[in-house]
Amino acid sequence: MKKVQQAHIWHQLNNILFRFCKYDKMATERALNCGPCDYKHETNSAVKWCVDCTEALCSTCFDVHKGLKVLRNHNVIGIENQDTLQGIILDLPETQMCDKHDKASEYFCPLHDDIVCIKCIQTSHIHCDGWLPISEAADGVKSSVAKETINQDLEDVIRNVEDLIESHEQERISNQNVCKNLKDEASKVVQRVVQRVKDIETEFVSTIEVQQTDSSSKIGSRTIKFKDKLQSIKCLRNRLIGIEGYASDSQIFLSIRKISKELSEHTEEVKSVTEEPISILKELKFTAPVQSFLTEGTVLCHVQNDSKHLAFQPTQLKKVQSHVAASVYKLTIDKIELQKVVKIDIDPPESKGTKIWSAVILPNKQLFFKWSESNNFSIYTSAGEFVRYLSVEDNLSCNYMAIIDTNRLAFSYGTNKKVDFFNIHSQQSEKQIIFNQNIYGLSCDGDNLYVVGETVIFFVDLTDDRLRITSVPVSMDEVYFLSVNGDKLYYADNQNNTVYCCNKTGEEVWSFTNEVMKFPNGIATDNSGNTYVACETSHNVLVISADGKHYKEILNASDGLKEPRAIFYDKIENRLLVCNTLNGQVLLCTIK
């Protein structure tokens, strides 16, 4: 049956207001008309509204109304308050229908906090005690704790959303300031780049000039040599011309040979000078980074962004309970039945032999499992569908966990003295608490975190930013898990096969032992104080009564249990999660 958690609180108010809301369309166009006058086909503007009659009244009809003894105590308000009433619970029909049987839901079951029909009472709620008509259940609702709870939750959420808006506005302003600083920084960088470009230009010009000077010097040196040789060669020519007119043939013959030899020597000297190439300026060749910047417009920098998770973290909303006498909520073990059992096979994140060490049901109803010797958590839906693995650094030895609120989990390790707080949404560790003993199992009631040490149970006050820590000594040899419910703590000593219940001063309230319970380890409690114990060696789950005097075996090996250890009770949905240690099979049971 669909849970209508708060409908019973407002059911009467809905019926009272429904007919009034029918006038809403006309209310924006004209004044609300008097109902009795409309019935007589007369038109008069209403001045009052009777909440009990759900009808508008003109001044004349109001006088008649208050004059009748049977109507004298009705709640009548001014018609000007219609804007306040307008829109309240418009989405609920005048008569709420049962989704399962399509009959009017006219009764309230306090045990399951459900609005039910007569058919539900005859079938699925036949064993429930204390059901009563909605009209009786709603009696006193205006002054009930349930109404106060809703008011507190509304104020809390409003305050936190306002804080969220303020924090985002602060971040927006901060971003504007950072933007200005980044622009200034970018401007300075650009100025440095411009100056550097100018320096590079100077270096370019200097390099070109040096190379030009060197090249010109070498060319000039060659030119001087060539001029010297040219002068020598011209002298040879003049000598040849001179001997032609005055020397004998023999002298001419000898002179020609000598001139030829000298010419050959001068020619070789000129040739030797030209064998080495000269350096001439051609073009600029840029390095690859400069060429890339000029041709491709390479980005010289980018703005680096940091992710900042501004989480919505209101105080955990309290479940609205009926103001009907609490005695009807007691769930005794003789009434406990497993209404639905879903078997789920959980695949380990690694192939090696890991164990399911602890498990919880998250506020979003997903199943969250921790494997030993693995940095990964496995997340599944309540229907058994795999969602994903969540990898958390440095949690290889994390073996125990507890839900702090809708956003956070607490982790402990068993092999060291710390507890880590982990935000599920941001997937970041938020804080760490160091103790003076190795830390094992964890449990939380919203205000305090309870931590199993080697010789004591620590209390961490979560309402105090200073995280005040106290402790109480307890009698135990081998205790690894614990559970808290109300003013009591529950834990199992697996060496002595004993389950203990103590108050928060450490004083023992009761202890339970039985031959059917062997190596009790994982432990959980429901809203009525019943204790659920996972027993590894006897392969079963026992539920022990709130007074510790009675027990009932609700699961055993025939149901598929094999060395169960991790166990968790969902107090919102009344579901029990039990996990086999080795084979990865878990049972999700709905408690009736």
pLDDT, mean of residues 19-48: 70
Task: Select the more confidently predicted residue: 477 or 166.
Answer: 166
**Max intra-chain CA distance, the chain:** 173
- Give me the percent of the chain exceeding a pLDDT of 90: 24
Whether 539 maps to a domain, the answer reads: yes
Q: Are residues 161 and 120 in the same domain?
A: no
Q: Give the whole-angstrom CA distance, residue 165 versus residue 443.
A: 33
Angle formed by the axes of helices 249-274 and 145-246, nearest 10°: 180
Model confidence over 482-496: pLDDT tens digits? 999 988 999 999 888
* Number of neighbours of residue 537 by Cβ within 10 angstroms: 13
Highest mean pLDDT among 24-28, 177-181, 371-375, 560-564: 560-564
* Enclosing domain of residue 128: 7-142
- Round the average pLDDT of the chain to a whole number and report it: 81
Give the total number of structural domains in the chain: 3
What are the structure tokens assigned to 62, written together?
A: 């109001």
Q: Are residues 179 and 60 in the same domain?
A: no
Q: Give the whole-angstrom CA distance, residue 452 versus residue 480.
A: 7
Question: Which of residues 274, 296, 318 is at a domain's end?
Answer: 296
Q: Are residues 135 and 157 in the same domain?
A: no
Whether 44 maps to a domain, the answer reads: yes
Tell me the whole-structure pTM to 2 decimals.
0.51
What are the structure tokens assigned to 344, written together?
A: 């789920």
Q: Give the whole-angstrom CA distance, residue 129 versus residue 456.
A: 40
Which run of H or E residues covers position 137?
helix 134-137
Per-residue b or e along 181-214, where b marks 16 or more CB atoms closer than 10 Å to that residue's CB: eeeeeeeeeeeeeeeeeeeeeeeeeeeeeeeeee
Q: Are residues 380 and 429 in the same domain?
A: yes
3-state secondary structure 512-578: ECCCCCCCEEEEEECCCCCEEEEECCCCEEEEECCCCCCEEEEECHHHCCCCEEEEEEECCCCEEEE
Confidence at 82, pLDDT banded by 50, 70, 90:
low
Whether 85 maps to a domain, the answer reads: yes
Question: Which of residues 95, 116, 142 is at a domain's end?
Answer: 142
Q: Are residues 382 and 479 in the same domain?
A: yes
What value, to the nearest 5°, has the Cα angle with vertex 198 and ends 197 and 199?
Answer: 90
Closest by CA position to 479, among listed 517, 445, 521: 521
Confidence at 257, pLDDT banded by 50, 70, 90:
confident
What value, to the nearest 5°, has the Cα angle with vertex 308 and ends 304 and 312?
Answer: 160
> Tell me, what amino acid is at 154?
L
Q: Are residues 216 and 128 in the same domain?
A: no
Task: Reply yes or no on whether the pLDDT at 89 is more than 80.
Answer: no
Task: Select the more confidently predicted residue: 396 or 61.
Answer: 61
Whether 334 maps to a domain, the answer reads: no
Q: Are residues 492 and 541 in the same domain?
A: yes
Closest by CA position to 128, among listed 367, 393, 329: 329
> Tell me, what amino acid is at 587?
L
Domain CATH code at residue 427: 2.130.10.10
Question: Which of residues 251, 280, 296 is at a domain's end?
Answer: 296
Q: How many residues does the chain have?
A: 592
Whether 316 maps to a domain, the answer reads: no
Beta bridge partners of 554: none
Task: Select the more confidently predicted residue: 298 or 231.
Answer: 231
Whether 406 maps to a domain, the answer reads: yes
Q: Are residues 162 and 130 in the same domain?
A: no
Q: Are residues 177 and 108 in the same domain?
A: no
pLDDT, mean of residues 352-372: 86
Model confidence over 514-557: pLDDT tens digits? 999 999 999 999 988 999 999 999 999 999 999 999 999 999 99
Q: Give the whole-angstrom CA distance, residue 443 versus residue 570.
A: 13
Asked if 49 and 77 count as a contact pair (C-beta separation under 8 A), the reply is yes
Task: Select the more confidently predicted residue: 123 or 168.
Answer: 168
Per-residue b or e along 396-413, where b marks 16 or more CB atoms closer than 10 Å to that residue's CB: eebbbbbbbbbbbbbbbb
- Give me the percent of the chain exceeding a pLDDT of 70: 81
Task: Reply yes or no on whether the pLDDT at 62 is more than 90.
Answer: yes
Whether 2 maps to a domain, the answer reads: no
Query: Lowest-confidence range among 7-11, 52-56, 401-405?
Result: 7-11
Q: Are residues 291 and 374 in the same domain?
A: no
pLDDT, mean of residues 79-85: 66
Whether 348 maps to a domain, the answer reads: no
Q: Are residues 515 and 478 in the same domain?
A: yes
Q: Are residues 509 and 529 in the same domain?
A: yes
Asked if 416 and 432 count as a contact pair (C-beta separation under 8 A), the reply is no
